[in-house]
Structure 1
Amino acid sequence: MEFNDKNDLENERVLKLIFPDGLPDNLRGNPELDNYLAKLGTCKVEQLKKEQTRLADETKRILEQTQDLAISNYKTFITTAENSRSIFNEFQKAEEQVDTLIGKLPTFSGKCEQFLKDSSELTEQRRLNSITLQKNAQLLEILELPQLMERCIREGRYEEALELAAYVQKLGQHQGHLIPVVNSIVRSVEALWHTMLVQLVAQLRTDLQLPKCLQIVGYLRRMQAFGDNELKLKFLQARDAWLNGCLDSISTNDAQQHLTKTIEITRINLFNIITQYRAIFPDEEGLGKLASLKPLQGVSCNGDRLFQAWLHNKINAFLLTLETDLERGVNSIETVLGQCMYFGLSFSRVGADFRALMAPIFVRVIRNKFSASIGQVNAQFEQELDKFTLINKVTLHTRKPLVNESEVESYAPPETLLDFYPLAALCNGYLNAMNELRLCAPLAVATDVTQCLQQSLQQVAQRVLAYYRQEQQAFTATERETFVKLCSCLAYDLVPYVQRCIHGVFPPQSLTVHLGISLLQLEQQQLTYLEQTQILEPLKHLLPAKIVLQATTTAAAAAPLDNNMNISVEG
């Protein structure tokens, strides 16, 4: 080591002597330089003196050889130079491309890493697809659950639809939060579940028998969409809509037909609904004990009151229809009354006998109808009296005294009325109204009928008095006598006959049994008795001495009136 260091030091000294300005750059690191310096170290002085000349000659010789070589091989040198230039350019391009490649290597590396990652995911997906292909049959069964449930609902197989809905619900609880497809299936089935609910409720609005009704409500209970009270409310709303639809389909052109159909449809269908309700909700308490059938106000949605409120509402609606149609006018009130009483009686089996609510309606309608008929009779009497004259009136019939009770009980109109057309027409009007009344004559209207006839006869007497005051100055002796006979016929024939007819329609015996009083008390209280003195008060100064004025006895009304009790009057 020390020897090498010493040689290096000597070589540096020699180099400084040879190159005082410093070693040229082209000689730095040249291994031949050390060998040449070592060779110089072995040369003698004479050799060193000749070394420079030798080097100059050798340089000249090499230069000449080089020139000769270049001259003889100039094409090679040109080609070499061109190749060198081309190679240099290619190396520059290669260097630039290498630099570009180096710049793109990080991106390429990232792409490669991403490709590795994607390829691993694809591999995983391929593995999952393979597993899916193996489980294809089971997956199809799950994916087709919504279509299967829709088909079950469409075909009415609700039992299977409920089982599918329960299965999907359990599946969603276990896998819905993990698998989006399962969650989507659950949502689809829930939508179909609501469709089935709407369809079942809609079926309650159709004509159903009890077994089908029980089945549908059973499905609704299993679906648990409604509470117990809500289910009752939905059931009553649906059946009410169906019943209203049946009633709305009845033609309203004819009041009699509309009312008859309404009674029949309401009685049958309402009773069926009550039977269905009691079979479906047997725990209902107090259903058979309806204390009152008045409209309920502010009824809460409690199970034990809901049905009662609904039934009250339907009965009130029927009573409103009954009153409306009766006021419109029906051909046969007695037929409607019989149907209504049977209707109310049949509902006594479910504790809803409402016959007592219909009675006031019939009484009111019958009373109003009779009053309207009597009003028309009075108007007609005024018209006939205005056209009536006493000129050339000959009395063809004479009054005969009543000799026995059979004549008192006779309901044939007095023949004396034929002499006076206004009184005969008035009697005909009374008989028509009473014959129509007696077909359906409730005892509750007996007093009203009597009062109506009492007022009518008073108006007749007032109108006759007005006629007298208007025409008396022009009366001849014969006309005055005829007018007195007219007043006598009104007072002693028509008024007692009307009294007998009243008792023919409302027999006193029936009234006494109904009221629990005696015949004497009935007469004392003037029930179904006309106040003849009050009726004849305006004409008392025109009436002759009474020949026979025998009040109708209480026994004079045992037989009903004859349908053909009209007087034949010649114009």
Structure 2
Amino acid sequence: MSFPDKMDLENERVLKLIFPHGVPSNLRGNPELDYYLAKLGTCKVDQLKKEQTRLGDETKRILDQTQELAISNYKTFITTAENSRSIFNEFQKAEDQVDTLINKLPTLSEKCEQFLKDSAELTEQRRLNSTTLHKNAQLLEILELPQLMERCIREDRYEEALELASYVQRLGQHQGHLIPVVHSIVRSVEALWHTMLVQLVAQLRMDLQLPKCLQIVGYLRRMQAFSDNELKLKFLQARDAWLTTCLEAVPQTDAQQHLTKTIEITRINLFNIITQYRAIFPDDESAKSVSLKPLQGVSCNGDRLFQAWLHNKINGFLSTLETDLERGVNSIETVLGQCMYFGLSFSRVGADFRGLIAPIFVRIVCNKFESTIAQLNANFEQELEKFTLINKVTLHSRKPLDTTAMPSSEQKTYAPPETLLDFYPLAALCNGYLNALNELRLCAPFAVATDVTNCLQQSLQFVAQRVLAFYRQEQQAFTGNERETFVKLCSCFAYDLVPYVQRCIHGVFPPQSITVNLGISLLQLEQQQLTFLQQHQILEPLKHLLPTKVLIPLTSALSAEATSAPIATEG
């Protein structure tokens, strides 16, 4: 064991002797206690015995000195105590304030950080404002782009408007997602772009010449708003709307004027539209040859779109033509000539539709003639009811029909027989036939020759039936003179009116012209009874009332006459 460890053990023993109940807490670790214990270890026994007394005296002396010091310096002690109390209170306050400060430091730190951020934003905004002020002129130019484009559109300066739209589109692609103002400008310009698109399409609905059409469609192509087929469709729709507007502006009070004006407007404007379409879309091969057959299942593509549109326009014209002809026109031959010129002019664009016009005129002419003959039949029936044979004197004697002995000058004339003047119903009927045939002669297509002949055949058969009914109703009251006059009426009808009507039919439809068109001989024409009245069927009801004589067949009687008859105008 080392020497210091031995000393510590002894000190512990001494402490237990001095403090049997344990060392007070205020003395533990005190270096002076160790020093005092070491000093006691050097004392002798006598010294140790006196040590308690010495300590008591020393304690008393120290207490006396302390009391004396306290009495002599009590003010200082009081002041020191007050100062200590005051210092203690101040330290308490300082501690509370420090605690409060510590609690508020996080908020202060957050406020400081927020202040730093706000300061940075303000600094950035100030920098942006300075930059904006520095580049004010350039910014004004960008901000005024929508107003500038609107002005260009309003003044029809589409070239500049397209350049502005292209520039704004590029600007939006680069900066639109970053700068709200640029995005707003892009949206405004897009709205004006749509306005320009509508305005360009609307201009196609106006009266335009080819250069203007090319320019407008060029703008539409550059805008790339429509595909090629859609652009064709839009062009045709717009031009169709303009053509429809022009046609709707034609007055419809007079059918002749309406039809004439419609033909003129349709021919000129439709031809212009076709020319414009071919110039604008030169690669469309379908526009070079137009089929006028009905289109079924046509899809909206470029190769059939133009055909379908033109087919629809021609059908619309044919519908208008048929409607106005049915309403009644003053001069069918004039309208026919205009229509044929219309169809012929369209042959230059591969759309000759004269073959569709002819059936309409044939049907209208035939219907009109049949309507006229039906009215004549009704008028004849009324006149026959008012006709009387009492005191009737015939002033004209009829001659037998002998075409072989008839001079050529008489064959060429178409004056009605004078014997008809003695019988007013037959004279009025003959005048009606002549008016109907004269009106037909101005526009007499060979296609109606058979229908006209059949209509007159039926009319003459109706007349024969009415005359027979008149005889059955009045025969019992006939006197000898009246019966003779009635026989003359029947003879005038059979031997004068019927042959004369046959001659008029051949005057309108010359047999030689018909044979040339049909490619047959005159004999075959007679055998087929084309344009020839069937005399026996007409006179069948009156054969027992006619005087006994040989009837000369109309076919043989009129064969020679047909060679000298004037040629009717072919419609």
TM-score by length of structure 2 reads 0.83
Query: 1:123: which partner in 2?
Result: 123
Equivalent AA in structure 2 for residue 311 of structure 1: L
Correspondences of 1:467-546 after superposition (within 5 Å): 467-546=470-549
Q: How does 1:282-301 map to 2 (within 5 A)?
A: 282-285=282-285, 287-290=287-290, 292-301=291-300
Aligned to 2:562, what secondary structure does the other structure show? coil
Conservation of the 8 A alpha-carbon contact between 1:288 and 1:352: no
**Cα distance change on mapping 1:512 and 1:422 into 2, 3 Å:** same
The answer to whether residue 255 in structure 2 is matched with residue 258 in structure 1 is no
Partner residue in 2 for 1:557? 565
Within 5 Å, give how 1:108-119 maps onto structure 2.
108-119=108-119
User: Aligned ranges for residues 309-320 of structure 1 at < 5 Å?
Assistant: 309-320=308-319
CA-CA distance at 1:496 after TM superposition: 1.7
Distance 1:560 1:355, change over 3 A: closer
CA 1:61 to 1:110, structure 2 compared with 1: closer, same or farther past 3 Å? same
Q: Which amino acid aligns with 1:435?
A: N
In the alignment, the residues of structure 2 paired with residue 249 and residue 294 of structure 1 have an alpha-carbon distance, to the nearest angstrom, of: 30
Question: Number of residues paired by the alignment?
Answer: 555
User: 1:228 — aligned with what?
Assistant: 228
In structure 2, what is the Cα distance between the partners aligned to 1:129 and 1:6? 88
What does residue 569 of structure 1 align with? none
Q: Report whether the alignment pairs 1:445 with 2:448.
A: yes
Q: Which moved more, 1:168-177 or 1:26-35?
A: 26-35
Q: In structure 2, how many angstroms separate the alpha carbons of the residues matched to 1:498 and 1:138? A: 95
Q: What stretches of structure 2 of length at least 5 have no aligned partner?
A: none
Judging changes above 3 Å, is the alpha-carbon distance between structure 1 residues 10 and 91 closer, same or farther for their aligned structure 2 residues?
farther
Residue 333 of structure 1 contacts residue 440 of structure 1 at CA under 8 Å; is this kept in 2?
yes
Q: 1:319 to 1:67 in 2, by over 3 A?
A: same
Structure-2 change in CA distance of 1:54 and 1:177 (3 Å): closer
How far is the alpha carbon of 1:342 from its aligned partner?
1.6
Partner of 1:565: none
Q: Which runs of 5+ in 1 are unaligned?
A: 562-571
Alignment of 1:240-251 (within 5 A): 240-251=240-251
For structure 1, which segment, 409-418 or 377-386, has the greater mean C-alpha deviation from structure 2 after superposition? 409-418
- Equivalent positions of 1:35-434 (< 5 A) are 49=53, 52=56, 56=60, 59=63, 63=67, 66=70, 88-176=88-176, 181-285=181-285, 287-290=287-290, 292-401=291-400, 404-434=407-437
Offset at residue 58 of structure 1 (A):
6.5
Distance across 2 between alignment mates of 1:55 and 1:85: 29
| CA distance 1:80–1:384, change in 2 (3 Å) | farther
- TM-score normalised by the chain length of structure 1: 0.83
Mapped contact 1:401–1:548 kept (Cα < 8 A): no
Contact kept, 8 Å, 1:519 with 1:554, in 2: the verdict is: no
Identity fraction in percent: 79
CA-based RMSD: 4.0
Conserved? CA contact 1:295–1:316, under 8 Å:
no
Over 3 Å counting, the alpha-carbon distance change for 1:29 and 1:103 in structure 2 is farther
1:503, 1:556 within 8 Å by CA — same for their partners in 2?
no
- Give the stretch that moved more between structures: 459-468 or 523-532: 523-532
CA separation of 1:4/1:110 partners in 2, compared to 1, >3 Å: closer, same or farther? farther
Q: Contact 2:204/2:238 (CA < 8 Å) preserved in 1?
A: yes
Task: Indicate conservation of the 8 Å contact 2:513/2:567, yes or no.
Answer: no
Compared CA separation, residues 92 and 406, structure 1 to 2 (3 A): same
Shift, 1:457, TM fit:
0.3
Question: Secondary structure, in 3 states, of the residue corresponding to 1:554?
Answer: helix
Deviation at 1:286, TM superposition (A): 6.0
Q: Per the alignment, in what secondary structure is the counterpart of residue 320 of structure 2?
A: helix
Q: CA deviation at 1:322?
A: 0.8
In the TM superposition, what whole-angstrom CA distance separates every residue of 1:526-551 from its partner, at most 9, and x where no partner exists?
A: 33221212110110000013498684
**Cα distance change on mapping 1:474 and 1:131 into 2, 3 Å:** same
Q: Aligned in 2, Cα 1:4/1:312: closer, same or farther, shift over 3 Å? A: same
Q: Sort the Cα spacing of 1:526 and 1:231 in 2 relative to 1 into closer, same or farther, 3 A.
A: same
Give the residue type in structure 2 aligned to 1:354: F
Task: Using the TM superposition, give the Cα deviation of residue 363 of structure 1 relative to its aligned residue in structure 2, in angstroms.
Answer: 0.9
The answer to which of 457-466 and 48-57 deviates more is 48-57
Whether the 8 Å CA contact 2:464–2:542 is kept in 1: the answer is yes
**Cα contact 1:390–1:482 (8 A) shared by 2:** yes
